Amino acid sequence: MSKYWERKPLLIRRRAKAYYDPLLSARDVDRIVTSINHKPLSIAKDGAIIPPLFHSNGENKEKVMEFYNDGGTIILDKVESSSPELLELCNEMRHFFNVSNKVFCNVYITPPGKQAFDLHSDDQDVFIIQVEGKKNWKVYQPEFELPINEEQTRVPEDFESRHKPLLDITLRKGDFLYVPKGFPHKVTTTDQHSIHITLTVINYTWYDFFSQMLKAASNDNVELRKSLPRTFFSGVEFSSQKKEFVKVWSSSSLQFAFDGMKALATKNIKPQFQGSVSDSLNVGKIKINSTLVRRGGLVIDVKREKKKTTIASNLGEFSMEGLNQQIRFITSRQAFKVSEIPGKLSDEDKIELSAAFTRAGLLKLKID
């Protein structure tokens, strides 16, 4: 992924057209559109959102379909709130990137021969999953790399006349496309309708980190809270204060920024609770040859003290005495066999240790 991440688009063609069917189907879309529990729902046409924003429920379904039949694209925002499968996907993406501020899914349903938005770029990375129909994509090399705000994403009106697309493709059912932030793109349907998932990943940047660091430094050092001197822009004051400014970037400020950013990232990751009841009931079935899998959407932090180790996560925390090697093994793997736990433990002790992590919700038994 490092070959493409924030550098260039990635297209994956899949022969298995039904590869993404477990994530979303046309029947799922119909259920969500008519569900009063999913909000919001909006319509886009010819490059603009049509006001007002509709909230999906049975009463306005006819109105929504009227806009769709008139060429509008139905947009289901943050649809993971109505889909356990997409929620799990979002959580796994957050865990994979580890520095994600937000990960969410939108679904776009576009009629044949239409487009929702004009040529534009985004200030976040997007992953496109084509689940129904076809859609034409033109993706261009950006003039401004890695934008971090809406102003930096603006595409000049004469952009297309000066640039040829990097990609000029048609996505079909089962295809996958990654578009890095800042890469301008233009999307239209063919003679078929289209349903696609846009998985949006918003990661923290170095800009965010240093903003947090500056906040930390301002709490610790009164010099940063003083007004600029009247003669500052003459250059004299800056030269005399340069050493003092260097001092404020202390190690404590760095650690404060790191801890603050980590807390924010952890707060936005929600564990996948689906199946948690049956997982608890399966604790007694754990054997020495069993395979255990880490629960999706977990952020685990291991804190070691003299006599005990505390395992903290976004589910809670618990402590154990000793077993540092074994705890490090368990918390660093996505899946493992109970027999693989290192150290001089008996089979019974390995099973009991695995059961403790399973009862705490961090692991689940893989059932073949």
Handedness of CA 67, 69, 71, 72 (dihedral sign): positive
The pLDDT of residue 50 = 78
Asked whether 276 and 361 are in contact (CB, 8 A), the reply is yes
Mean pLDDT of 44-63: 69
Helix, strand, or coil here: 328?
helix
Mean pLDDT of 49-63: 64
Domains belonging to the chain, first-starting first, are 10-203 (2.60.120.650), 209-267 (no CATH), 276-365 (3.90.930.40)
The pLDDT of residue 171 = 97
Mean pLDDT of 107-120: 93
Helix, strand, or coil here: 152?
helix
Mean pLDDT of 259-273: 68
Query: Of the spans 30-44, 61-75, 296-310, which averages the highest pLDDT?
Result: 61-75
Quote the percentage of the chain above a pLDDT of 70.
85
The pLDDT of residue 12 = 97
What's the number of CA atoms in the CB half-sphere (13 Å) around residue 21?
A: 4
Q: Please, what is the average pLDDT of the chain?
A: 84
Q: Is the pLDDT of residue 56 over 60?
A: no
* 335 vs 314: which has the higher pLDDT: 335
pLDDT digits (tens, 9 = 90+) for 243-256: 666 665 665 567 77
The pLDDT of residue 53 = 58
The pLDDT of residue 108 = 95
pLDDT digits (tens, 9 = 90+) for 168-177: 999 999 999 9
Encoded tokens for 53: 């924003």
State CA 181 to chain mean position distance. 13
Buried b / exposed e across 32-61, counting CB within 10 Å, b at 16+?
bbeeeebbebbbbbeeeeeeeebebbeebe
Q: Is the pLDDT of residue 359 over 70?
A: yes
Q: Is the pLDDT of residue 36 over 60?
A: no
Q: Is the pLDDT of residue 123 over 90?
A: yes
* 98 vs 225: which has the higher pLDDT: 225
Range of weakest confidence among 34-43, 50-59, 111-120, 139-148? 50-59
Q: Is the pLDDT of residue 265 over 70?
A: no
Q: Is the pLDDT of residue 100 over 70?
A: no
Please give the DSSP secondary-structure letter assigned to residue 120.
B
* 101 vs 9: which has the higher pLDDT: 9
Buried b / exposed e across 290-321, counting CB within 10 Å, b at 16+?
bebebbbbbbbeeeeeeeebebebbbeebeee
pLDDT digits (tens, 9 = 90+) for 183-203: 999 999 999 999 999 999 998
Q: Is the pLDDT of residue 313 over 90?
A: no
Sorted by sequence, the CB contacts under 8 Å of residue 31 that are 6+ apart come out as none
Query: Of the spans 137-146, 228-237, 280-289, 291-300, which averages the highest pLDDT?
Result: 137-146
Q: From CA 315, how far away is CA 40, in angstroms rounded?
A: 28
Asked whether 360 and 319 are in contact (CB, 8 A), the reply is no
The pLDDT of residue 334 = 87
